[in-house]
Structures are given as C-alpha cells and as structure tokens.
Amino acid sequence: MQCRSLASNLGFVMALSGCGALTCTPVTIDVASKDQRTRMVSEFRGVTNDGTGRATELRKEKLVPEYWVADRQGRWYRVTEEQWRDAQPGQPLAVCR
C-alpha cells in the first residue's frame, strides 16, 4: 500500500514540475515603456467564530505592487521589481512569455 502511495505522489510531483517548465518561455524584447501598477489582494489571516458560533474567515486587504514592461508591438509582460528597475526604453530585456 505504501509503495502505491509513494509512486502516486512521485507521479504527481513530476507532473507539477513539468508544468513549471511550460509556464515560462524566455524571450528577449526591446523595451518600449514600463509601468508600475498596484492591485489589492485579500490575505487569509485565520479563522474565528462569530456570535452565533459559525466559523468565519479573517482576511486583510493589502495593496501589492506589480511591475510591467511593454515591447514595441504593445504587448505587456509582468516582470520582477529588479527587472523593472533595470529596464530602460530602447534596451533589450529577457522576459518570460
């Protein structure tokens, strides 16, 4: 029984690692412009009981910065803060597509 569990877990891990390789296709673009955007996310903080005894989630809203660069064709790519800081219009930049 334990061998089956180990084999199925190993198969699951291998499948997930294969998906990770497909999520990023490196490409070099010429930076046309860059933009910093802010979005709000709801962060899970825990669970508590309300006055009637029902379980309710505790959440906290917070603002998160996102960094984007555009190529000369107008396509936008989300990049890390470091890549965004280094990006200069007219210069090449390696990004994930």
DSSP string covering 36-67, please? EEEEEEEEEEEEEE-TTS-EEEEEEEEEEEEE
pLDDT digits (tens, 9 = 90+) for 8-55: 554 554 454 545 555 788 999 999 999 999 999 999 999 999 989 999
Every domain of the chain and the residues it spans: 24-96
Structure-token pair, residue 21: 């390789």
Please tell me whether the overall predicted TM-score, pTM, comes out greater than 0.85 for this model. Answer: no
Under 8 Å between Cβ of 80 and 72:
no
Q: Decide if 67 contacts 76 (C-beta within 8 A).
A: no
Split at pLDDT 50, 70, 90, the class of 97 is confident
